[in-house]
Structure formats: structure tokens, C-alpha cells
Structure 1
Amino acid sequence: MENKTTALQYSGEKNYDSDFCGSIPLHQINLIQPHGLLLVLDKSLHIRQVSENISDLLDLAPEAILEQPLASFLPETELKDLQLKLSREQRLELEQVDIPFSLTFGTEDNSQVFTATVHPEADQILIEMEPAQRENDKSFLSFFQQIKYITSHIKQAEGTEAIAQVVADEFKQFTGFDRVLVYRFDPLWNGTVIGQAKTEDMSDLLGLRFPASDVPKQARDLYFKNPYRLIPARDYEPVRLYPILNPITRRFTDLTSCNLRSVASVHLEYMGNMGISASMSVPLILEGKLWGLISCHHKTPKYPSYQERTAMELLSTIAAVRLGSYEKEQLATMQAHKRGQYATMMEQLFTQDFFSEALLHGKPNLVELLSLDGAAVVYEGNVQTVGKTPPVQKIKELASWLRRNSSDKTYVTNSLPQAYPNSKDYKDEASGLLAIPINPDQGEYIMCFRGEVLQTVNWSGNPDQAIRKEPDGKSYHPRNSFALYQQTVQLTSLPWRQEEVEAAEALRSAVLSKIIREKY
């Protein structure tokens, strides 16, 4: 795939998290993929709904097994084991626990061994079944050793990108997918590829950003219900449930918990545009939040075994723990350093005669504490500065604008020219502003400045063309280009971290305390 570079200049971050894509009820599609079958049971374990492909897999007509007890199709020992586990889940009041099973399903004349996942729900029980694959190519011991080996590699990696690259390399080696990507979501849910392992003939996506509409909100939410999303063959024919309406709920069956759930046709088109026939993705969830995804692509149909999928679930959890641990370590180190600086500044603040001297010229000063380019104190008609700042008159005008347009809370922006166009004249000094109010009614502030930082964002395709709607306004298509598309972000500074804003607000309290002590 040939990459073409197009430059687009804009200020600020555009939100590509499409409300249109995010509103599609993916869990109520009422269709499944054909590599397995689905049973819907009532609480008495009678079959009330079934996927129509049971006739292909077991030569049983869907209508022939409806209203029949599950006991008619399972060996007694397996049925008792299932009943025991279901009663245990109910007794312990465990919520939505998926139960893995090996089930021999069918009649005396025609039965088959399936790998099954049982989803107990409030009013019904869903059973997903896939024909069991032979796993004799790997003994349990060799499989366990392989998982242990991969785990040790992940745990030894240092740095977010380094961990992501190890995960990509090991997943590709373990699964045999043609390409494995690890990408991280930003605050606007765009995903940037930070780790990649691929065959030579697959396109290079490392470092590229994918718009949030590629994984819309509905799809992101489902990752908390499903441990993975697998599409083994893009050109499959979806299978309907019989009857169409669930007799228990009298509406479409909620397939939120089902891995067999069919996917939206637009996503299959997306895969085709990407040149892949099979995909599997597992989430990276850190502290209850979706941090990123491990996404696997294959040019031809691919059916990873239940054993492999379970291992991928486990490894993704281990990777998420390692990523979270590393980022916590980095944050703790940075916070400890900042706390030391802050404590020294507080000592200076209360031992020096003028608070502005402590803030602007102490060791450390405000510029060092908050990683600024410059700072100013507007107080009692005077303007004092340090570092790179706008001219004094411009600072006074900015203070007047803040007095008219902001509340008595700390004002934070990393794109001041968007909010205050007059500041474009000094974007190099103050594209970012954190303004700490001292006496906002009088236009008195501590101003923290960050200059413009030009950022080139490498998108995988034009994000403004991620969705192409038909003239009817209802049908739509995904983009068909994943070539490099560059955007230059102007009139913005580096973003303000939450801990920096919190430090600034704590500083405000100390300054006000100092002023009150001096005056009274």
C-alpha cells in the first residue's frame, strides 16, 4: 500500500468519536457467526431458541429441538456437572460468570464434542458451542512452558513502547497471525499503534493514529463484557436465531456476552478495505478503564483454538498489569520529585517578604515546578515576569480578559488562541495558559505560560473521511485508504497534566494564606 502524505493545519484536537457509529446496537444484531452455534435456555434448562446452523453442524432441524429439555441431548454426567456449576453460581450470587465446558451434544445417532461457554443470566442461559479442535500438537506442559516464557519477557520489558513491542512480537510468534498491533487510546479515544509485529508483505502501521470512529463507543463498551472479539473469516454468511424473537424475553436476544455474535457489515467492509480476512482483538484494561487493544490480522481465514484464545486472554491481562505497573512507577517517581520541589517552594514562600519573589525567582521556582516556558504575577497594579512571556501590556490585557470571562477557579487551556484570538500574536510564548486567580475581581492572577509546540500527527488515512455516508443519510461505509495522512497541530502547547493543575491549586491556597497573614 503506497503512502501519500497530505498536510493539514488545524488548532486543537478534533473529536472523531462518532455519535453515529456509537449508537448502533451491536449487541442486538440477532445474528451469529457460523463457526459455532448458540442455544438459549430457560431456567428449567429447556431449549427455547437456537441458531439455524444446528442443521448444518448436527443435522437437526431447529424446530425439532425447541421446547426440548437439554437432558435429551447431553450425557447424564455432563448434564449433572453443568447443573452443579450453575447452581453454585446462583448460590454464590456471582454476576455474569462465564463457565467453560466440554459438551457432547446431539442424539444417539449423531453427536459431536463441542467446546462450550455457558452464560448464566437473570432470565435465561446462553450456551455458545464450537466444534472441539484437536489439540494434540501441544501437550499441556509445552503449552504452559510457552505461556510462562512469554510472561517472563513481558515482565522484563521497561518502558511503555518497549512492553508494547514485546507483546506484539510474542503474540505474533504464539498465534501465527500475519500482523499484531498494540495500540493505545488517547483521551479522545483515537488509537495510536505503539507496538507492531508483522510479515513483510503486510503494511506498516507503527506510529500511525486511528480515529475513534474505528472503534466506536458501543464496540469499546463490549470489551468489558467479552474477553475478545474474533472474526475468523470475513466473508461468512451470518446465521439467524430461530425463532426470530426470543420466547423468554419476547424481543431480540441480547448477545452482549456472546463471542459468536455477528459483527456489523460496515466492519466487515472495513476489514476488506484493510486487506485482511481474519481478525482478533483483546482489550488492555488498566484499573477498570480501557487503555488500549491488542489487534491481530490475517490475510486468510484463521481459526485460533479455544486453548489459544484463552491463553491470549491471560497474556493480555498480564500485559495490562505490566503496563499499569510501569506507568505507576513513572508517575510515583515524578510525583515524589514534584513534592520535594513543592515543599521547598512552600518554605521559600513563607520565609521571603514577597510571595512573587519566591514564586518567580526562588530555587526551585514556578517555571521548574510546573515545566513552564515563563510565568507572571499580576498583583496590585504590577506585573512581574520570569522566562519567556508575552509583553507586559499584553499580560495586562490578558488579565482583563480573564477577569471578564473566567470564574474564580483556576483557568487551564493548552490552546489559548482558540479561546482568546488576540493571543495569536504571542503564541510562541503563550499558546498554553494556566491562570491561578489571586483576586479575580481586580484582575490579579498568577499566570503560567507554555509556548506553541508544533505537532505532526500521522493518521492511518484521512480521519475526516473515516465514514462515508450514502445519500439516504442512513447507510454508510468505512474509509478505503489507510495511507499515511499528516496533520500539523498549531496554536497549542503541551497539555497540562492533572497533577500539575492540582499543584497549582494547592499553591493558590498557600499564596492566599501568605497574603492574608501579611495584611492582617
Structure 2
Amino acid sequence: MRQVIINTQKEGFKATVGLAHSDCMEKKAAPINVTIDKNYDSEFCGSIPLHLVNLIQPHGMLLVVNKTELRVVQASTNVETYLGIPVDDLLEQPLSDYLSAVQYADIQSKIASQNSQAKIPLTLTFTVQDTQRTFTALVHPREEYVLIELEESAPTSGEESFLGLYQQIKYITSLLKQVQSTAEAAQLSADEMKKLTGFDRVLVYQFDPQWNGIVIGQAREADMTDYLGLRFPASDVPKQARDLYFSNPYRLIPTRDYVPVRLIPVINPLTQRFTDLSDSNLRSVASVHLEYLVNLNIKASMSLPLIIDNKLWGLISCHHKSPIKPSYELRSALELLSGIVSVQIASKEREKAILLHAQLRGVHARLLEQLYTSPTFTDGLLYGNTNLQELLNLSGAAVVFEGSIRTSGSTPTNQEIKELVAWLRRNKKDKLFTTDTLPKDYGQSKNYKDLASGLIALPINAEQGEYILGFRPEVLQTVNWGGNPNNAIQMEPDGKTYHPRNSFATYQETVKHTSLPWLAEETEAAEALRSAVLEKIIKERH
């Protein structure tokens, strides 16, 4: 992973930001966790009940059965396409009329024992009018009914046989274990998944703290648009869609031009409500998302979640210029691979955190020794071979204690520090406080944004206005968006119908009044230092 050095022109302050493939990005490109002034996570899009659509995509069929005799109470209208009988003839019929005794017993036992999150595939052969049709089935037991998704089984090539896919997964896993960083893992994943699937473009996204997604890995055909390094607003994957990735191992749209298939009857007879399709891979897609695919100039897509520590960390998104339907076997392999990629990225993130922890512990130990051998804790923190600036990557620091203000490095004036402390007291900042957007939080600080757009405040005695303060200067950071995020959603006059943006041309936004963000490891180091200082003060007074 290359390093981009952002030169803030503040003596003694050098911030290093790791960027994937930074040669494709601006020198001052914003890191993933930069604080962006505007929230692009649309509440409107996030409130749409995507799981209650009563529609599926036509590359499979869906049955809803009761739990006792597995009698069909609801079915998609395309069952005639797959089974050769009208949907009305199938309703109210038990599955035992169509399955062998062995398969019927098998599905009963699976329903009785299966966790609804497990999604274990079955092979079911339906016999209808002496004709046999074999399907891959996914069974989703619910409290009041069972959802069964069926896709026709297709013969697989040697490469997509169990052995062929197993060999591919083992190979990719061995490569992933050799990478040195998250960025390398993302790029390798994109390259190998493109080779494995034949998709025209594979993107690896990482979500920032505000749910905007930045492309950190990409593999593409030469005629496909380059999105590497671009950030996409949170409204592109709204909250409802993000939540569904915990129910679905992948989201496949074989063609954006499909005609949705209805469930009959419309209302589930067992619940008197729409059937919840949260777990369904076949669930139909919102029309606005299909329009989004049109604007991206792609016909088909497949996306897989990257889940780390039970949180949606990012996505792998596959695009194709023409309709494509990966086999069930290949999709299952990709599902497994996305889990492996998640584990490898988590490992790299932990390694990075452990390394930073070790570096900070070393500085902390030296600073602690200095703290206890100096005449006062202020001398120990601000002056000497090791100081607070080195520990927390600061351009300046101040200690406000017992009516005096002592500073080191580049800081606001004493009067400005007094006013800042008064603001901290008014806002009850009696615990460790950090911000990388101080001018936004505290308007008066705009006058010295070059010195203090970032603030870390360690309270010693907040009621008396005694604090240890650390400052970071403004760093103008460029966010490269995939299209203007302010046009991400375009509402119709009716206030209900909306459209996605129709351009993904790079849109540059300069983020002002921000410093480099505070890392979790830095705030932990600050908290440990605060405890040591309080202990030192107590010893000095007694």
C-alpha cells in the first residue's frame, strides 16, 4: 500500500494517510474516515419496506407452505413455466403429491431442525404429470409458514463442479493470506473474482463512518468506466438495503429488464399480511435500483457483503454489460469467498491496529517515565525528548491547570484557549472529547482553523475548566465522488416518486474546516495518559 504524505506546513506535524492505489487519486485525497459535512444517507430511501414487495425475479419460483402438512398456500405465478401446471392447480396441494417419500421426509426434517438463518440448499425433484423436474431449493422456516425458493438445476461444467470450485477457492485463499494490507486484499479479491465469474467489472467498496462507499479495489474490462478511488453517497445503498445483507448472502439481478412475478394470492392466508421476503434471494428489486443500473450502463449485477465483527464493512459489487446468470454452484462459491475475504480484511485491519498500538505504547512508556521524573506533569507532557504532540500526532498542545495556560507547538492564543475551555465547560465535556471538525462544532474557532480544526480534550477537572488540549490543523481534503452526491436522489413533484442520478462522472468536493480524523487507538492512548496524569496530580498533592 502506498503512502500519501499530506504536508500541512506546520512544523513538527506530519500526517500519513494510507490510500489504496493513491497514484490514481489526488495527493490530498481524503482518507476513508474523513468527516463529510453533509449526510447523504437518505431517510426516505431507507424507510421503503423492500422486503414487502410481493414480487420476485423470474429466474426461479417461490412457494409458501404451512408447517404441518407442507400445503402450498401461496405461490409465484410462474410455477406453470417451471412445473407445467397453472398456479391455481398447485394452491392448497401438499408437497407430498409432487415429491418422493424420501425427499418429502428430508424436507420435513430440515424444516424441523433448521435455523432460519442457515439457508441450507436442497435438491428437490418434482413429478408433475409423469414429468420430472429437478430444482435447487432454499428453505426458510418462519414462525407461521415456510418459504421455499426453487431454481432449476442446470448441468455444471468441470470448472463449476464442486472439485473445480474448491480448487479455485483454495487458490484464491492462499493468495489472500500473502497480502500485506487491506488495499492489497481488496485489489486481489476484485482481480480473482473477475477471473472466476467472468463479470465485466468487479468493485470492492468500503463504507465510511457515514455509510458512503469508497471503491478500494477494482478489476474491469477496458471499455468499462473506471471507479477506483471514487466515493458513492450512502443513498446508493440505503439503510433498508444494507440491513438485508444480513439476511441474504448475495444479491443477484441476472437482467435489469426482467418482468416481476407476483405471488398468488396477494395476501398470505396464514398471516393476513404481505409475505416477508427478507430472506429471499429471488426478491424483486425496487424500480429505482433498476433505473440506477441503466444509468451505470450495465444489464446485470451481483453484490456480496463484507461483514466484519457483525457489521457491514463493505460490499463486493459485480457488473456485466449483458444479462448473466451465474450458476447456483458459482454463487455459493462466491458466498464462501466473500466470507473468506471478510476474514482476511479483518485480519489486516487488526494487524494494522496492533502495530499502531505497539508504536503508541512505546511513546506512552517514554512519556510516562518523563511525566514521573519531571518537576510537574505539565513539564513532563509538553517538553523533553518525548511529548504529547508525538503521542497523539498533534501540531500543538496546551495544559490549562490551576489558573495558568502552558503551550507547546502551534496553538491558538491564550485568550482563544480560555474561550474554548469555557465552551467545553458549557457543553459538559467532562469526558474525553474529540472532533475533527472544530469550526463546525464551535464557530469561533474558524478564526484559527489553520491551527485547530481538530481538537482532543482530556479533562483534568472539567468543573474548574482544567484540561489537557491537543490541536490538529486544517487539512484541505479532496473527496472524489462518483457523480454529484447532491443529485443522488431526484424527487418528482408528487414527493413520492424519485430517480437516481443519471451521471457518474467524477465530482470533486473539497472538504474544508477539518483535520485528519482521530483514530480509535489514539483516543485509547489519550485516555490511558489522562489516567496517569490524574494519578500523578494526586501524588503531587499528597
TM range (shorter): over 0.9
Residue of 24, 33, 40 corresponding to 1:16: 40
Residue of 477, 498, 505 corresponding to 2:499: 477
Residue of 250, 260, 279 corresponding to 1:238: 260
Alignment of 1:261-410 (within 5 A): 261-410=283-432
Residue of 116, 128, 146 corresponding to 1:107: 128
Q: Is the 8 A contact 2:72 2:94 kept in 1?
A: yes
1:40 partnered with 2:61:
no
- 1:268-311, CA deviations, whole angstroms, 9 ceiling, x for partnerless residues? 01111111110000000111111100000001110100010000
Q: Is the 8 A contact 2:395 2:471 kept in 1?
A: yes
What secondary structure sits across from 1:504 in the alignment?
helix
Amino acid at match of 1:48: V
Residue of 508, 511, 527 corresponding to 1:486: 508
Amino acid at match of 1:51: S
Q: Is the 8 A contact 1:97 1:120 kept in 2?
A: no
Task: Identify the residue that residue 204 of structure 2 maps to in structure 1.
Answer: 182
What secondary structure sits across from 1:514 in the alignment?
helix
Task: Identify the residue that residue 421 of structure 1 maps to in structure 2.
Answer: 443
Between the aligned partners of 1:11 and 1:165, the Cα distance in structure 2 is 25
Task: Identify the residue that residue 279 of structure 2 maps to in structure 1.
Answer: 257
Alignment of 1:165-180 (within 5 A): 165-180=187-202
Task: Identify the residue that residue 108 of structure 2 maps to in structure 1.
Answer: 83
Between the aligned partners of 1:416 and 1:135, the Cα distance in structure 2 is 59
Q: Is the 8 A contact 2:35 2:436 kept in 1?
A: no
Task: Identify the residue that residue 215 of structure 1 maps to in structure 2.
Answer: 237
Between the aligned partners of 2:216 and 2:56, the Cα distance in structure 1 is 32
Task: Identify the residue that residue 433 of structure 2 maps to in structure 1.
Answer: 411
Between the aligned partners of 1:384 and 1:116, the Cα distance in structure 2 is 71
Q: Is the 8 A contact 1:230 1:281 kept in 2?
A: yes
Alignment of 1:443-458 (within 5 A): 443-458=465-480
Amino acid at match of 1:74: L
1:459 partnered with 2:481:
yes
What secondary structure sits across from 1:254 in the alignment?
coil
- 1:311-331, CA deviations, whole angstroms, 9 ceiling, x for partnerless residues? 000111110100001110111
- 1:31-83, CA deviations, whole angstroms, 9 ceiling, x for partnerless residues? 00001000111012111111000122222111111111101111222222222
Between the aligned partners of 1:71 and 1:105, the Cα distance in structure 2 is 10
Between the aligned partners of 1:318 and 1:136, the Cα distance in structure 2 is 24
- 1:331-352, CA deviations, whole angstroms, 9 ceiling, x for partnerless residues? 1111122123223322322222
1:126 partnered with 2:150:
no
Task: Identify the residue that residue 71 of structure 1 maps to in structure 2.
Answer: 96
1:206 partnered with 2:228:
yes
Judge which range, 21-30 or 104-113, deviates more. Answer: 104-113
**1:154 Cα offset (Å):** 1.7
**1:155 Cα offset (Å):** 1.8
Q: Is the 8 A contact 2:121 2:137 kept in 1?
A: yes
Between the aligned partners of 1:157 and 1:367, the Cα distance in structure 2 is 32
Between the aligned partners of 1:106 and 1:467, the Cα distance in structure 2 is 48
What secondary structure sits across from 1:363 in the alignment?
coil
Amino acid at match of 1:118: V
**1:30 Cα offset (Å):** 0.7
TM-score by length of 2: 0.91
Task: Identify the residue that residue 81 of structure 2 maps to in structure 1.
Answer: 56
Task: Identify the residue that residue 176 of structure 2 maps to in structure 1.
Answer: 154
Task: Identify the residue that residue 511 of structure 1 maps to in structure 2.
Answer: 533
Amino acid at match of 1:20: F
Q: Percent identity?
A: 60
Distance 1:365 1:200, change over 3 A: same
Between the aligned partners of 1:192 and 1:317, the Cα distance in structure 2 is 20
Query: Number of aligned pairs?
Result: 509
1:25 partnered with 2:49:
yes
Q: Is the 8 A contact 1:349 1:358 kept in 2?
A: yes
Q: Is the 8 A contact 2:356 2:521 kept in 1?
A: no
Amino acid at match of 1:492: T
Between the aligned partners of 1:86 and 1:498, the Cα distance in structure 2 is 44
Structure 2: segments with no counterpart, 5+ residues: 1-25, 27-33
Amino acid at match of 2:396: G
Distance 1:176 1:386, change over 3 A: same
